[in-house]
Chains A and B, each alone.
Chain A
């Protein structure tokens, strides 16, 4: 899949997406290629405080992912999602835009662009007023975001990028749990505690 514009994000689905759950799974199926191999056993005490240039490239992708999530939640609101689901969508949208602002502020750029490719692929799934359908799309998005940020943790060099990302991960994990409960999606506790979402591939084309 070819990214639009100059985005260094490549999303290579490993299998055709046939369902909303499958769509996000396909988006993230490739995972962060070689992220584990890139994990460097650098001493925490020797890590730079501020984001490095390499960090900033990855943080920009992370920021775009957050703004994409915000836009997707607003799609659901605009589609008429109401009551508890609508309130959650509004709160979660604010959370994601806040995280984008936090990332951008820490890295020294503006939080003003989303990942259009991800947005376009998930837009129809989020454009629903049905609570269960919304929850299914959103929980998959949140778990994918958690997996993606977790993979990026191994690549960041600076302590500030790692701290910021860690703080986002734990809240997005909570949001995923809430959405699972909202939609009644859990058939077992494994669905809550061992979600199968893979990380998005955000490395291809990234410049140093």
Chain B
């Protein structure tokens, strides 16, 4: 009897054995599904190999307080990023003035989101979004620190951050039940869209206005800073069917046009998993908060 047949200790099985067992499990599950209408017991899918136990997401309803607290956390995350950017000393005076104003605006939005959170019965969130910081912001800032062109990457990061914030608020304005909160998030989406545009305009001037993709030009040059544009149909397009709308040119072609930003962002897609959402009322976001 060799190790593979002694049973008991699964570590003695090889990958081939595991695959066989996995196939058996799947086959058995299919058989049970087909024939086991009168069977009872655990009906969860079988698992193969070693894996950490599945953790159920927190069980709470995603109400206005949750959405507003998450909105606050994103605003405060933006502030943290901009403060880190200022600390690099990479910005000239004009860009420093702009970033200081962006911080001021984001703080004002965060304050408003906090007040609205309390008005709908929640507890205002007063810190960054830890989930987003850990998984996105911190790696980005580390990459920027080691970049061959930190300023380019800083500006790209800032534009992306504003676009994400604007698109998130744009979506929240539809999802929120409270009319005041909905209006406030729409205003935030509008302001943050202006932020994004202002960053690109300040950094690139006219070259950054419109992506050449919109006018049929070449978008291959990514050496300039920042590589994003104010109007970039690829990031703003909503529906594929809109891509070729517009009047035909003299050559009979329909030019691509800039489309409304209606896309749900990465953050909002993740809303389904609740990984970045905050609980309805617990904690204040302060380090060590309950």
- With contacts A98-B242, A171-B231 taken as known, whether A164 is within 8 angstroms of B260 at the C-beta atoms is yes
Asked if A132 is at the interface of the complex by the 8 Å CB criterion, the answer is no
Q: Collect the chain A residues with CB atoms within 8 Å of residue B151's CB.
A: none
Asked if A68 is at the interface of the complex by the 8 Å CB criterion, the answer is no
From A164, A171, A176, name the one whose CB has the most chain B CB atoms within 10 angstroms: A171
Query: Which of A12-20, A39-47, A52-60 is the interface stretch?
Result: A39-47
Produce 1/0 per residue, A153-194, CB < 8 A to B: 110000100111011111101111110011000000100110
Q: Which residue of B lies closest to A146 (CB)?
A: B190
- Shortest beta-carbon distance from B271 to chain A in Å: 14
Q: Collect the chain A residues with CB atoms within 8 Å of residue B195's CB.
A: 193
Tell me if B177 and A43 are in contact (CB < 8 A): yes
User: How far does the alpha carbon of A177 sit from the alpha carbon of B98 in the complex, in Å?
Assistant: 14
Q: Collect the chain B residues with CB atoms within 8 Å of residue A164's CB.
A: 260, 262
Asked if A33 is at the interface of the complex by the 8 Å CB criterion, the answer is no
Asked if B105 is at the interface of the complex by the 8 Å CB criterion, the answer is yes
User: How far does the alpha carbon of A98 sit from the alpha carbon of B182 in the complex, in Å?
Assistant: 26
Which B residues between 202 and 217 are near A, CB-CB below 8 angstroms? 202, 205-206, 209-210, 214-215
Q: Which residue of A lies closest to B204 (CB)?
A: A181
- With contacts A44-B176, A163-B174, A170-B166 taken as known, whether A154 is within 8 angstroms of B183 at the C-beta atoms is yes
Asked if B140 is at the interface of the complex by the 8 Å CB criterion, the answer is no
- The A contact surface, by secondary structure, is helix
Query: Which of A23-31, A84-92, A118-126, A200-208 is the interface stretch?
Result: A84-92
- Shortest beta-carbon distance from A74 to chain B in Å: 10
User: How far does the alpha carbon of A176 sit from the alpha carbon of B214 in the complex, in Å?
Assistant: 18
Q: Collect the chain A residues with CB atoms within 8 Å of residue B214's CB.
A: 91
Query: Which of B45-53, B251-259, B279-287 is the interface stretch?
Result: B251-259
Asked if B197 is at the interface of the complex by the 8 Å CB criterion, the answer is yes
User: How far does the alpha carbon of A99 sit from the alpha carbon of B237 in the complex, in Å?
Assistant: 12
From B97, B191, B262, name the one whose CB has the most chain A CB atoms within 10 angstroms: B262
Tell me if A94 and B183 are in contact (CB < 8 A): no
Q: Which of B182, B210, B255, B261 contacts A170 (CB 8 A)?
A: B261
Q: Collect the chain A residues with CB atoms within 8 Å of residue B179's CB.
A: 39-42, 154
Tell me if B170 and A192 are in contact (CB < 8 A): no
- Shortest beta-carbon distance from A150 to chain B in Å: 6
- Shortest beta-carbon distance from B242 to chain A in Å: 6
- Shortest beta-carbon distance from B254 to chain A in Å: 10
Which B residues between 164 and 186 are near A, CB-CB below 8 angstroms? 166-167, 170, 173-179, 182-183, 186
User: How far does the alpha carbon of A154 sit from the alpha carbon of B97 in the complex, in Å?
Assistant: 34
Q: Collect the chain B residues with CB atoms within 8 Å of residue A170's CB.
A: 166-167, 170, 189-190, 193, 260-261
Q: Which of A40, A84, A153, A178 contacts B173 (CB 8 A)?
A: A153
Tell me if B193 and A95 are in contact (CB < 8 A): no
- Shortest beta-carbon distance from A48 to chain B in Å: 13
Tell me if A167 and B231 are in contact (CB < 8 A): no
- Shortest beta-carbon distance from A196 to chain B in Å: 14
- The B contact surface, by secondary structure, is helix
From B176, B190, B238, B247, name the one whose CB has the most chain A CB atoms within 10 angstroms: B190
Asked if A97 is at the interface of the complex by the 8 Å CB criterion, the answer is yes
Q: Collect the chain B residues with CB atoms within 8 Å of residue A159's CB.
A: 174
Q: Collect the chain B residues with CB atoms within 8 Å of residue A189's CB.
A: 97-98, 101, 198
- With contacts A169-B189, A178-B231 taken as known, whether A95 is within 8 angstroms of B257 at the C-beta atoms is yes
Asked if B194 is at the interface of the complex by the 8 Å CB criterion, the answer is yes
Asked if A116 is at the interface of the complex by the 8 Å CB criterion, the answer is no
User: How far does the alpha carbon of A149 sit from the alpha carbon of B238 in the complex, in Å?
Assistant: 18
User: How far does the alpha carbon of A49 sit from the alpha carbon of B202 in the complex, in Å?
Assistant: 40
User: How far does the alpha carbon of A99 sit from the alpha carbon of B258 in the complex, in Å?
Assistant: 10
Tell me if B177 and A169 are in contact (CB < 8 A): no
Asked if B12 is at the interface of the complex by the 8 Å CB criterion, the answer is no
Tell me if B246 and A177 are in contact (CB < 8 A): no
Q: Which residue of A lies closest to B196 (CB)?
A: A174
- With contacts A94-B255, A153-B186, A169-B189 taken as known, whether A44 is within 8 angstroms of B242 at the C-beta atoms is no
Tell me if A44 and B177 are in contact (CB < 8 A): yes
Q: Collect the chain B residues with CB atoms within 8 Å of residue A171's CB.
A: 193, 231, 236, 258-261
User: How far does the alpha carbon of A150 sit from the alpha carbon of B177 in the complex, in Å?
Assistant: 17
User: How far does the alpha carbon of A169 sit from the alpha carbon of B182 in the complex, in Å?
Assistant: 14
User: How far does the alpha carbon of A41 sit from the alpha carbon of B181 in the complex, in Å?
Assistant: 10
- With contacts A167-B238, A182-B206 taken as known, whether A102 is within 8 angstroms of B260 at the C-beta atoms is yes
Q: Collect the chain A residues with CB atoms within 8 Å of residue B194's CB.
A: 173-174, 176-177, 192-193
Q: Which residue of A lies closest to B261 (CB)?
A: A170
Known: A84-B209, A177-B201. 4 other contacts (CB 8 A): A98-B242, A167-B260, A178-B197, A178-B231
